[in-house]
Amino acid sequence: MATATLCLILLILILSSFSSSQLSIKSKAVAAAAAAAAAEVRSFRATSRFLGKFAELNRTKALPNSFQYETRYFTQRLDHFSFSNLPTFQQRYLINTDHWVGPKQMGPIFFYCGNEGDIEWFAANTGFVWEIAPRFGAMVIFPEHRYYGESMPYGSRDLAYKDASSLSHLTAGQALADFAVLITDLKRNLSAEACPVVLFGGSYGGMLAAWMRLKYPHIAIGALASSAPILQFENIVPPETFYDIVSNDFKRESVSCFNTIKESWDAIEAEAQTDDGLLGLTRTFRICGNLRSSQDLSDWLESAYSYLAMVDYPYPSEFMMPLPGNPIKEVCRKIDSCPDGTSVLERIYAGVNIYYNYTGTVDCFDLGDDPHGMDGWNWQACTEMVMPMSSSESKSMFPTYDFDYSSYQEECSKDFGVNPSPRWITTEFGGHDLRTVLKTFGSNIIFSNGLLDPWSGGGVLQNVSESIVALVTNEGAHHIDLRSSTSEDPDWLVEQRASEIRLIGGWLKSYYQEKTRLFSEYNNEDPKQLFDM
């Protein structure tokens, strides 16, 4: 990128701001130029984020009484693939054996593949696993992903996130090895080597569940991979897919809402050209402190729209933030119902306030960066989790931009001192011609996706074989099937979960039948005695 272009972009970012004033012809021209430069910046900011900045995970909800567990810690090697004398760390895991029928009856182990966050939060939001455990007499385990929550190498987050060297062991491959070692050790200590393991996971955790079933097929007999975008790499799916789905979620609720959001970006860039405009934007959007650039506000808004699409559940939820049922419908209602004369940006604030302040208890919004400057998922996105994302002109309500790997690489080098490896995930786990890979080497995987979820575009949406099944729902959002059942669940969700239970039950039945056959052959025993309860 030329020096002059860099200077122009930096100047625009410094001057960028918002206000609710009318756009003059001159300001529209300025906005167009600003938007073009901002799009160049966004080309590498549009990285994949499951629970990244502005996700605002809600940790206040108490764990249901039926979701009780003991917290334990397991000593893991920092590097499973080296024989050097490297440090170890304590991996936290949550375990419940209340309903487990024990090793003699080969009680199953339900193992949730922890993903990018505190494991207690995932345990509280994965009610499906807890609810079906009694039915199957299963043990429940929620292990925490290394470098998240309390599972910090080097003893603290500050030391673990110190630099690229300390973060170098934050990889999916190391996390899967953690899971495999934990399962193997736990089963051995409980004399439960014959107990079958079923993997569960949502989002990145769903990717881990599917990959673990492929990489360690002897460890687990099957996996439920919910909302797992394992095809989101190397342009296997078009890079516009994610933001096109987000945009369509809004457009299906209200075309005028879609158009207002689409118009707002130019209004933002136009107002961001002066200090007074920045001050106006700060006031309009109730920002804590003074807004210094339009990019921070744009990221904040883009995040809200993306997360709203992910959690567009048909009932009230507190997955990320307290939200009403069908939150996109409510956001668009707010945007569309403002009185005549209300500016575009004031309409946008009224809508986005549903996501960030539905309870009405927030006085102002903090757009500050992560205090450590190195969020764990940002590191993963800058190393192996390279998921190209673009925004199309025709279908997207977001500013048009194309994914630019050179800029992406430059940003990762600046933030972490590393170069991304965009082909590593497909090299390690497959991706191209995945149907053939799964059909040849895989079995017993459920890929569940809801088409409202923007991550569904990178998911497996068609059956691969009799045992690798795609369960797709038109109205489903981000791993809604893993959430607790409620009296407000629509029929399609009840049916989806029933299908998952039948498939999991079938895996276990086949496993037990094979074990019974082998036991009978080698011991001439009555196979029925093996399962006397």
Measured CA to CA, the distance from residue 405 to residue 423 in angstroms comes to 12
Helix (H) or strand (E) holding 223: strand 222-226
218 is catalytic: no
Closest C-alpha to 91, from 212, 203, 179, 195: 179
Q: Which amino acid is at 57?
A: L
Spatial CB neighbours of 201, under 8 Å, sequence gap ≥ 6: 112, 113, 115, 207, 208, 209, 210, 223, 224, 225, 226, 228
Beta bridge partners of 471: 448
244 is catalytic: no
203 is catalytic: yes
- From the candidates 19, 43, 151, 203, give the one annotated as an active-site residue: 203
Measured CA to CA, the distance from residue 272 to residue 9 in angstroms comes to 13
Q: How large is the angle between the packed helices 294-310 and 241-251, nearest 10 degrees?
A: 70
Q: Which amino acid is at 14?
A: I
**Cβ–Cβ < 8 Å for 320, 57:** yes
Measured CA to CA, the distance from residue 161 to residue 346 in angstroms comes to 39
DSSP for residue 195: S
**Cβ–Cβ < 8 Å for 494, 484:** no
> 403: left (phi > 0), else alpha (psi -120 to 50), else beta?
beta
- From the candidates 375, 453, 481, 489, give the one annotated as an active-site residue: 453
- From the candidates 375, 478, 481, 489, give the one annotated as an active-site residue: 478
Kindly give the pairing relationship between strand 109-112 and strand 70-77. unpaired
Measured CA to CA, the distance from residue 128 to residue 248 in angstroms comes to 28
Residue in the structure block whose two tokens are 């879609």: 258
**Cβ–Cβ < 8 Å for 31, 270:** yes
Residues annotated as catalytic are 203, 453, 478
